[in-house]
Structures are given as C-alpha cells and as structure tokens.
Structure 1
Amino acid sequence: MKKIITILLFTNLAFAQKKQVDLMVYHAQVYTVDAKFSKANAFVVKDGLFVEVGDFATLNKKYSAKTTLDLKNKSVFPGFYDPHSHFLGLGQMLSQCDLVGAKSFKEILTRLQEFRKANPNQDWLVGRGWDQNDWDVKVFPNKDDLDQIFPNVPVMLTRIDGHAMLINSKVIQMAKISPSSKISGGDVEVVDGQLTGILIDNAMGLVKRVIPKEDEKVKRQQILAAQAESLKYGLTTVSDAGVSQDDIELMMKMQNEGILKIRDYAMVSVGIRNVEYFTKKGIIKTDRMNVRSFKVYADGALGSRGAVLLKPYADQSSNSGFLLTSKNEMDKYFSQIYGSGYQVNTHCIGDSANRLVLDLYGKYLKGKNDRRWRIEHCQVVNPADVPKFGKYSVIPSIQATHATSDMYWAEVRLGKDRVKHAYPFEELRKQNGLIANGSDFPVEFVNPLFGFHSAFARQDNNNWPAGGFQMENALSKENALRAMTIWSAYANFEEKERGSIEMGKMADFVVLEDDIMSIEASKIRSVRVLSTYIGGEKVYSTK
C-alpha cells in the first residue's frame, strides 16, 4: 500500500513540475525556417507564442498541454506571407462575375449573361479577370457586343492585371467620356474617331468616380470573404497594396470586434491627403494591423502595355508605356515619406520605371540602410540597374507567378533580347541576400504554393515548360520558402515577431497534407492546407 501511495505522489509531483502550456504539436515534420533552416518534430504554444521548439520526447517531459495535436508525420511550416496582394480587391472580385480563364470574348459574354440571370437586381454588371493574351485573336475587345446585349445596364469589366477595363456605352454616358477625353498616366482608346470602351490605367478613374460607393455592410462581407479564402490557403499575413484611410479604419474596427483574424500589413494609397494624415499620425501597430508604408504607382502593366520601357514595345513600336505618377510627384512623395519613417513601396514593372525609381530612391537612401524601401514587381530590369538594389538596400518584392503567366507572350511583347532581363529573381535576390515573393492576388491565384512552385521550378499549372522558363533566375527551393515566410516578414519589419517557428515568436503556422520540400515539383500545386493557426488559434481546418 505504501508503495502505491509513493508512486502516486511521485507521479503527481512530476506532473505538477511540468510547465502548463496551451498547445503541444508533435509527431510532425516542422520546417522552422530559422537561420539554420533546421527541422523539429514538436513545439509548444502558450499565450499565442511559441514557447519551445524541438524534440517531442524532450518537450513531453517538460510541458503539460491543454490541447495536444498528433500530426502523424504531417508537415508544418511558418504561416505563409503574401507580401503583395489586394486583399480588399479579392473580396470585391468574389462577389463579381469571374472572367478568369475565359478563352474568348464570346465566352466572356456567356458568363456575363449567366451572372446577370443569377443576379438580376444588381445595378451594375461588374466582372474581372479577362485577358486577351489567352484568346486566339490577342487584341483588346470593344464595347459593341456589350451594347447589344446590355444596352441599359452599366457594364464594367476589369482586365486580369487591374490596369485596363472595358465599359459599355451606358457607362460612357454616365461618366461623360468622349473621344477627346484625356488624362495623365492613362489612355482612353479611340479607333477611327470612336470610343472602343477600353480605358487603361489612370483613365479608369473616369469611371470609378461614378460607381456607387459600397456601404460598410458590403465592405465587411467582402473582407470576411477575402479572409476565408486566404486562410484556406495558409496565409496568415497579407500585405495589402493600396488601402484607403476608410478601409484601414474599418479593418481596425473589425479587429477590435474579434472578427478580423488574418494579419494585414497595410500599404496606404499614396496621395496628398493620405501622406499628410498618416505621416502626422505615425506608424500604427496593433495585433492584427500594421500601418507603416505607402503604395506608389510608377507605371502600368505589360499585359495592357502600360509598363514604361526604355525602348518601345516589340509588338507596338509607337508605344513605350507611360508613368502613372510623374517623376516630380514621386520625388515629392518620397521626400515627405522619408522624413516620417514610413516605408515606400513602388510599383515598377518596366525597365524604364525601375531605373527611374531606383535613381529617385538613391537621393534618399544613402548606401546600406535599414529603411527597407521596396520595389513591387520589378519584372523587367536592365542589367545596369540590378546592382542598385544592393547599393541602396532596396527590397525586391516579386510575384513568381507573373513570370509563369506571362512567359507565353513575354518575348512577343518585349523582344528576344530584352526578355532575357525579365523576371530576374535570382539576380535580384543576390543583391541583398533576400527577396519577397507574393501573388498580387486577385491578379494571380491566392494559393501561395503556386508562387512557391513558380519561384523554383519556373513552370505553370501544367508543369510547362519541361525544363523551366529562364532557369538561370530560378530560386532554390529553400529560398523560395524563405521568400514567402521569413524574408517577407523582414520586408514588413516583422522578422522578430513572425516568419519562422522559433521560441518567443507569434504562433502562426500552417499544416499541409504533404511535404512540399520533398515531393515531386509537379505535385506541389495540388497540396492541400489541412489547418491554419494564427497566434495559436485554429482559424481554418478541413475538418
């Protein structure tokens, strides 16, 4: 009897000596993405933080958890980052007519008619995702068919890249657009003296000013829809490129209500009012929101020929693209923002835009520095300008899926010689030893594994081309993972808080059904996320 009592006392004492934690994850393949790129098979979480990461046998002796999770050898990664997305744009698109993947304008018309039939009470017919480069005849559509089918309904169809749109005559009348309408940094397409309905870049603003403003209820629904879609693919932090003051305040409100689970790094849309307001207010940092950067547009996109090139487009010799923001305007903004401590993130796609902005950055970023100013996209960079990323400590923020979406027509658009300097991810990475890789969703698909696969394999959904596209600029698989975790966290000034599974960091992690670091590249895009955790809380699960 005494022996039994002694055993019970010893057991209770041992249990009492164990540290209490909220969650223990074990029997897992944990890719920590720490400095040594080490692996573990278990970790414990308390109060939303990783308490310890290591071997299950050791941790099990030290800790007692309220909840335990046996992953049966499933893979665990730090919560995925998307360092360049349009979070609110995704929410809007999910409620619009989906035009992605349409193989002809005829198919687009069919989708619009079906959508209208299913949503007859919507005042506007809005769609997004068309891409003329996917059609047999690779030219912009016009408004004629829209006018015949929808003569009395305003129709607005945004191109896949968000840099061009097609509208019908009803919208043209409402916006009072004429063949003589001109706007800096954009184009109102006119053929034979007639409007075609195509608006490029800043010209789209002529329409946006007459679109009814969405109320808060609708905005909330869009944010929650975008959040659900993002969490499903393992995203725990999104960098939201181009956000208004109103949108930031709404997301702050939703955070305080406990319904905004995802972390949002807000890039404020640049503008006189926004720059004055936010630089005066200072950096805003909460549990779910981080407001400390501005989004600037230098040029447009390659797909709509608005990206600014040093020499004209190979397939349109009269056009070299155009600046969306003038050199003087950008310089003024950069000067104001530099003095505030905010970060600058500038959209640059063409080689001329990249050169211009790098040189303007150089006025303020003297040598190596920790301002972490970024260039978003950096798709076509002249070799002479690549070293400037290192010289001024500029972070290249790329979207690997842009390379694998554009590769079918990039040579036609850029020419045989210039295309060699497009999507130079590895060359850019070498300049500072890091690169951030996002998706630009909804321009590309939300799933970060698509960008991961494109970064190292340089192939599309069908694993084409067999040898990869311009493989000299592919990232290694390890660096492709860093680019969507710890390096993206660094690009957001968050590397000490998140981006890896390490003691003291926030417990943001994702569980995958397979090991993307060891399986065949061709299988990666189909790997499912089993669960997503933010601050130790399960925010998505397939179960």
Structure 2
Amino acid sequence: MQATVYLAERVWTLDAARPRAQALAVRDGRLLAVGTREEAEAAAGPTARRVDLGAATVVPGLVDAHAHIHGLGRSLTTVRLEKAGSVDEAIRRLTEAPASSFQGDWLLGRGWDQNEWPGGAFPGRKELDARFPSTPVFLTRVDHHAAWVNGEALRRAGITRDTPDPEGGRILKDAHGEPTGVLVDNAMDVVAAAMPPPSRAQLETRLRAALTRCAQVGLTGVHDAGMEWDAFRVLQAWDAAGTLPLRVYAMAAGQGDARHAYLEQGPWQGRMLAMRSVKFLADGALGSRGAALHDDYCDEPGQQGLLLLPPEELASRAQAFMSRGFQVCIHAIGDRANTLVLDVLLRGAEATGTQSLRHRVEHAQILRREDILRLGASGLVASVQPTHATSDMPWAESRLGRERLKGAYAWRSLRDAGAHLALGSDFPIENPDVLAGLYAARTRQDAAGWPEAGWMPEERLTAREALEGFTTGPAWASFDDARRGRLALGMDADFVALSEDPLEGPASALVKAQVLATVVAGAEVYRAPSLA
C-alpha cells in the first residue's frame, strides 16, 4: 500500500522521547516515522504521496471522552431549541419543523433551557397545546434530564393528575394538581415509552449526520456514554463493512432492559468499534435540579435532587457488569451522587477483583473535598466536560451557594489529587466543537472572554494538560494508551491538523481556530475546503 507523508510547520507528538516533529509518514493505518521531513520521506519511500499542511499545527487524534452520537444525530435532524430566548421563540421554531423532526407522528425537539428565558421558570403544556392540540410533542431540555411535552403526549402516556412520580423522577404539577407538561429524569421515560421507535433508515441518517459532524470538528474518536442496542448494531454492521469513519468506544446503556443483551454478549472489540464498558446514571442534572445533593438546593429549599436507581440496585448492576469483564462508568453530578458512586465503584471493584478495569466517574461535577481526595487516591477516571462549567457559570452559584461551589467543576483539584482526567463535551448537551473544550479547560471563560480572570480560575488546566485531556486521557480511559493518544513509531495514524497552535499559541486563538484535516487510521475523513 502506498505511504503518505504529512508535512506541517509543527507536530506536537505528546511523546516524551520526541515531543516535536515536522512530518509524519503513514502506511496501513500506522505511523512509519515521526520526525524531520527527510526522516519521514526516507521511511515512506520515493513513491509516497505527499500532503503539505503548510503553517498548520498537527496534534494526536482528539477524542471526546463523553458524548452521545445518536443524540447528536437526532439534534441535527429535529427541531433545535438551543438559544431560544423565550417560550414564544421555541414555539415559533416548532411551527417551522422539517419532516425529519417527526418520529412517527410525534414532533421532537431538544435544547431548551429555561435559565435563558425571562424569569427562568419551567415552561408549561398550555403553550404547546394552543399550537399543537392533537400532535404529540416531546422536547428534551438541553441537559437531556427533563422534557417539555403537551397534553396529547401526556394523554397517550396515560399521565393524569393521579399519576404518582416514578422512582427517580418527578412529574411537575401546578397548584391544582394537574401535570404542567414538564417531566424530570425517570418521569421522561413514561412518555418516551409511548413513542414509536425510529425507523432503521431514520436511525442510520442520524448516525451518519453525527459522525460527519464529529469529523468536521476534529474528532478522531468518541466515547459514547450509553449506547442503545439498535444504534450499536448499526455501527457494528458499518464496522464489519469497513465504512465506520471514526473510532467509537461505546458504553452499553445500563439503565434499560437492553443491559441484558449486553451482558449476554459480553465485551466486544471490532476494528473501529469497541464495547467493553457500561454506563449507569446515579442522578439527574443541575440545571433541572435533578442532581442529587447532600443538602437542599439554595434556590429551592426542600429539594435535594433525585437518585435514579436505588443504591442497592446500582451496586448490584455495577457488580454484575464488573464480573462479566466490563469497565463500569457512572454518571454523577451532585455531591450526594458522587459519594454514592465512589462507594459503589470502589466496593464493587474490590468485591469482583476488577480494580484493573479503570472504572470511571462520568462528570464528577460537584464533590465534597474528601471525595475529591478519595477519587484521586483510588486511581479512578474522572471523565469531565470543560464546557459544562462555562455554560453553567451564570447560574450554578444560585443552585449551590458559594461554599459548595468550591468542589464543583474542580478539574485542577481532581488532577492534583491523582485522578486520571478524560475530557469531553457531553454533546449534544454541549457543542461537539473540541476546540471550544480546549479553550474552556484553559480559561474557564466564555467565547467573549468573560469573566475577565476566569470563573474559579484556580481550577484551570494548562495548555498541555488540556490537550492531554482530549488525547492521552481518553486513550487511558479506553485501554488504548499503547496505541493512541501520542504520535510515535508504530502507533495508530490518528491525528488532526489545526490552524492554530493549542500548546504555544494564546488560548484566545482557539475561539476562531479551524480544523484543517482529520485523519483516522491513516484515512482523511475530513479536509477543509481551504486545503482542497
């Protein structure tokens, strides 16, 4: 097979033996050489193809360590409500919904955030009923931990004033006891169960749209945090056919009945797709006040959030997957959830003898100081999302109070305590743009540079630590550290060419930086028009 030589102004390898280079030689999906132009061309031979990336900076393949591929595809093909500034604006967007926004006769959308609306209150079903009296509407909040539905959706799900809250969920009701149309965490499942599943063609369209978008923003791999069985089977077929463009490290969805199929199958490894982990949800999200806290929310006294599974059930399921050889990854936002998850993971690993499986705390968002130290000392993975901090910073203190905020989004503290950091975005809750993640990790500012000194700047990461968080960190967290995360002889040829230098350039340059090329296993899965 013909070799290819890639030339660039600089190549950051993250390899201690040779941290900087000028060229890469690639053949059969592996790196033949990493070094000077002369070294790369000598290794590639006289017939090699040459790609001159000019002033670009090349870095190891960037990987999102916590994301949702099907969710991104759904968000790209249904009604998008991000940045809708009011209920009226959200309704207007729904009236212009494309045909792809329907699943059966249900109208779907996502991304609303009441924190951005006047008054910050949850919406209600009446506004939807006035425009959609007979079409069921299901709209997930930006964090995917609450849904806004209309009366027809409630009717089809059989939810009335007499319906009790399901375990781990809340059906919000008005002063008269009537459902308002907002469902939190496990209450969403009651309505979702009444919805027809997507067709195979619809599912494939969504997955293709998501993978294309990932390649465009410079991702060579994604850790999918809770993959549905049907989506896994589609990707499995594409992997077998050699048409899966990115590396996908899939976590089995451990909440629903599909977990039995994953347990029966056991860990699975293909060429570009792996399934050797499982993801559970311990609690909800901070924005919808579903994150489980030890003490009351500051802005809703009496409310401490939700545990989505009884602790004993969570422990039982975790140990069942550990015993089957799965890495266990558990979503934990609130400090009470993080305490519980550390207990479950550490006791489960000891009971099953699986300490080597690199179990993970997904989000590790709000922790007490003693749990930060416990997580670090345990050697667990802290899978965190930098842009969650910059999205939540306008209102997080109102939820938590100043004292509790000291243990929130505490990446520096977690790293210093010894935790293995793996960075991601949690897309489509956040934008999949990995450069935005690098910027947020370094600055703790929004794109406009606010706040001037950064939000809780003592928790910032350095430029190198941020880059490692999207390269060597995810490689470690997915057992791929011997093959990926660095650019060295014999390793997989996964790398990204950027218009700006993420190590030595100013962090502000990342806001407008461009991805010039994305290469996975030696194949160019994205090339910017400027390079064509």
TM-score range, shorter chain: over 0.9
Deviation at 1:273, TM superposition (A): 4.8
Counterpart CA distance in 1 for 2:4 and 2:98 is 48
Q: Which residue does the alignment assign to 1:500?
A: 486
Counterpart CA distance in 1 for 2:102 and 2:23 is 53
| RMSD after superposition | 1.9
Match 1:223 to one of 182, 186, 207: 207
Bigger CA drift: 199-208 or 493-502?
493-502
Match 1:138 to one of 120, 123, 127: 120
Q: Which residue does the alignment assign to 1:95?
A: 77
Q: Which residue does the alignment assign to 1:304?
A: 288
Counterpart CA distance in 1 for 2:287 and 2:359 is 26
Counterpart CA distance in 2 for 1:272 and 1:440 is 20
Counterpart CA distance in 2 for 1:353 and 1:451 is 25
Q: Which residue does the alignment assign to 2:309?
A: 325
Bigger CA drift: 39-48 or 104-113?
104-113
Note closer, same or farther for the CA distance 1:203–1:220 as it changes in structure 2 (3 Å cut): same
Within 5 Å, give how 1:46-85 maps onto structure 2. 46-64=27-45, 65-85=47-67
Please state if 1:28 is matched with 2:9: yes
Query: 2:328·2:359 contact (CA, 8 Å) conserved in 1?
Result: yes
Note closer, same or farther for the CA distance 1:70–1:148 as it changes in structure 2 (3 Å cut): same
Q: Which residue does the alignment assign to 2:513?
A: 527
Match 1:403 to one of 382, 389, 403: 389
Counterpart CA distance in 2 for 1:118 and 1:386 is 44
Counterpart CA distance in 2 for 1:34 and 1:76 is 13
Query: 1:395·1:432 contact (CA, 8 Å) conserved in 2?
Result: no
Counterpart CA distance in 2 for 1:452 and 1:210 is 40
Within 5 Å, give how 1:505-516 maps onto structure 2. 505-516=491-502
Deviation per CA, 1:435-461: give whole Å up to 9, x if none. 011000000001011111111110112
Letter in 2 for 1:81: V
Q: Which residue does the alignment assign to 2:170?
A: 187
Deviation at 1:513, TM superposition (A): 1.7
Deviation at 1:492, TM superposition (A): 0.7
Please state if 1:382 is matched with 2:368: yes
Query: 2:7·2:51 contact (CA, 8 Å) conserved in 1?
Result: yes
Deviation at 1:339, TM superposition (A): 1.4
Bigger CA drift: 250-259 or 361-370?
361-370
Note closer, same or farther for the CA distance 1:380–1:178 as it changes in structure 2 (3 Å cut): same
Match 2:413 to one of 427, 430, 438: 427
Deviation at 1:234, TM superposition (A): 0.8
Please state if 1:245 is matched with 2:226: no
**In terms of Rg, which structure is larger?**
1
Deviation per CA, 1:463-512: give whole Å up to 9, x if none. 11110010111111100000001111110111112111111111111111
Counterpart CA distance in 2 for 1:456 and 1:191 is 43
Letter in 1 for 2:426: D
Within 5 Å, give how 1:262-341 maps onto structure 2. 262-271=246-255, 273-341=257-325
Counterpart CA distance in 1 for 2:156 and 2:509 is 49
Counterpart CA distance in 1 for 2:417 and 2:59 is 26
Bigger CA drift: 246-255 or 317-326?
246-255
Query: 2:103·2:198 contact (CA, 8 Å) conserved in 1?
Result: no
Please state if 1:440 is matched with 2:426: yes
Query: 1:369·1:392 contact (CA, 8 Å) conserved in 2?
Result: no
How many aligned positions are there? Answer: 524
Structure 2, unaligned stretches of length 5 or more?
none
Counterpart CA distance in 2 for 1:162 and 1:272 is 16
Q: Which residue does the alignment assign to 2:458?
A: 472
Structure 1, unaligned stretches of length 5 or more?
1-19
Deviation at 1:118, TM superposition (A): 9.7
Letter in 1 for 2:336: S
For normalisation by structure 1, the TM-score amounts to: 0.93
| % identity of equivalent residues | 36
Within 5 Å, give how 1:408-419 maps onto structure 2. 408-419=394-405
Within 5 Å, give how 1:159-178 maps onto structure 2. 159-178=141-160
Deviation at 1:21, TM superposition (A): 5.2
Counterpart CA distance in 2 for 1:493 and 1:527 is 30
Counterpart CA distance in 2 for 1:342 and 1:37 is 35
Query: 2:55·2:499 contact (CA, 8 Å) conserved in 1?
Result: no
Query: 2:239·2:270 contact (CA, 8 Å) conserved in 1?
Result: no
Please state if 1:199 is matched with 2:180: no
Deviation per CA, 1:256-306: give whole Å up to 9, x if none. 233221111110011575444434433211111110000000000000000
For normalisation by structure 2, the TM-score amounts to: 0.95
Note closer, same or farther for the CA distance 1:36–1:351 as it changes in structure 2 (3 Å cut): farther
Q: Which residue does the alignment assign to 1:40?
A: 21
Query: 1:376·1:397 contact (CA, 8 Å) conserved in 2?
Result: yes
Note closer, same or farther for the CA distance 1:223–1:523 as it changes in structure 2 (3 Å cut): same
Query: 1:314·1:414 contact (CA, 8 Å) conserved in 2?
Result: yes
Note closer, same or farther for the CA distance 1:21–1:53 as it changes in structure 2 (3 Å cut): farther
Counterpart CA distance in 2 for 1:430 and 1:407 is 22
Q: Which residue does the alignment assign to 1:352?
A: 336
Letter in 2 for 1:41: Q
